[in-house]
Chain A
Amino acid sequence: MKEPKLYRFPTRKYHAMAKTVLIVDDIEFVRKTLAEILTEARYQVVGEAADGNEALLQYQRLRPDIVTMDIVMPNMSGIEATRKIMRLDKAAKIVIISAMGQENLVMEAINVGARDYVLKPFTANDVVKTISRALVDEPGRPHRETQAI
Chain B
Amino acid sequence: MNLMNALPEQFDFYHLGTVNLEPEHTHPISEKLPDDAMAVAFQLSGDVSAALVLHFEKGLDPSIYSEMGNVIASRVATNLSKMENLDILVSPPRLLSEKHWENLSQGHKLTGRTYLHLHRGISIRLHAILINPPQGNTGHA
Contact = CB atoms under 8 A, between A and B. Distances in A.
Contact of B66 (A29, A73, A104): A29
A102 B91 contact: no
A98 B84 CA distance: 21
B132 interface: no
A27 interface: yes
B124 A120 contact: no
Contacts of A123: 12, 14
B90 A101 contact: no
Nearest to A28: B63
A73 B92 contact: yes
Interface residues of A, number: 26
Contact of B67 (A6, A29, A102, A103): A29
Interface in B46-81: 60-61, 63-64, 66-67, 70-71, 73-75, 77-78, 81
Contact of A98 (B64, B74, B88): B74
Q: Which of B12, B15, B61, B91 has the most CB of A within 10 A?
A: B15
A72 interface: yes
Contact of B77 (A29, A102, A121): A102
B16 interface: yes
A123 B14 CA distance: 6
Interface residues of B, number: 31
A123 B89 CA distance: 24
B83 interface: no
A108 B73 CA distance: 20
Interface of B: 11-16, 60-61, 63-64, 66-67, 70-71, 73-75, 77-78, 81, 87-93, 117, 119, 122, 124
Interface of A: 1-4, 6, 26-30, 33, 72-74, 98-104, 120-124
24 contacts: A1-B16, A1-B119, A1-B124, A2-B61, A29-B63, A29-B67, A33-B14, A72-B70, A72-B89, A98-B74, A99-B75, A99-B90, A100-B74, A100-B77, A102-B77, A102-B81, A102-B87, A102-B88, A120-B70, A120-B71, A120-B74, A121-B67, A122-B14, A123-B14
